[in-house]
A and B are shown apart, each in its own frame.
Chain A
């Protein structure tokens, strides 16, 4: 299957600082990527849809000024958590859509963010 990577795999930051998470499709070009957040023992909650070359579409209740998404190329989308607070601590996962064939969605390995 297609490979999606995320960097970093885990990060600890202080409250009030910003953190950038990268999502890359390694062996295919993805015009669409999704960003999810997952709290312990819960399901994946969609935060936003990232389309290459256009503004991201955010789900209701997700602050677009706090969670900045940039999809500058067909293989890279970034999520920046600005002015992070402890309640932003979570597992952030991206996925990318393979544009050809059945358009399956493949997930990255996730990034564990801890805000102290």
Chain B
């Protein structure tokens, strides 16, 4: 089955700096890679996703890159703000089906 690893487990950055979170997956059949942001006591919120036919996708300050050959994908947040502080989860799977989630990255943006 699918196995998703995520690094780092914790990340602290200064406000305005960039943050990068990396994930690897094992199942080459996975073709959908969403990223979720979870704030304390709340459910995960989809922030961006990418499909295997695309190498990069950007939405304002957030971007995701995918390397199918190496089976890894990354989340990039630029110009970080305190409200970006949360736990971020990557996931891998197929649209409409169950995802396998990474263990999460706790991001702290220091003012």
Contact = CB atoms under 8 A, between A and B. Distances in A.
Interface stretch (A11-19, A42-50, A64-72, A82-90): A42-50
Contacts of B36: 107
A13 to B, nearest CB: 19
B7 to A, nearest CB: 14
Contacts of A102: 32, 49, 51, 95
Given A1-B46, A44-B44, A104 B95 contact: yes
A103 B96 contact: yes
Contact of B34 (A49, A93, A105, A109): A105
- Report the interface size class on chain A: 20 to 34
A32 B44 contact: no
Contact of A104 (B34, B44, B98, B101): B34
A112 B41 CA distance: 8
A106 interface: yes
B36 to A, nearest CB: 7
A42 to B, nearest CB: 7
B42 A109 contact: yes
Nearest to B44: A107
Contacts of A32: 96
Contact of B103 (A42, A93, A104, A107): A42
Contacts of B101: 43-44
A105 B43 contact: no
A107 B45 contact: yes
B76 to A, nearest CB: 20
Interface of A: 1, 4, 6, 32, 34, 42-44, 46, 49, 93, 97, 99, 102-110, 112
The 9 closest A-B pairs by CB, nearest first: A103-B96, A103-B95, A107-B43, A110-B43, A109-B43, A107-B44, A43-B103, A43-B101, A44-B101
Interface of B: 32, 34, 36, 41-46, 49, 51, 89, 95-96, 98-99, 101-104
9 contacts: A42-B103, A42-B104, A43-B102, A102-B32, A103-B95, A105-B46, A107-B44, A107-B46, A110-B41
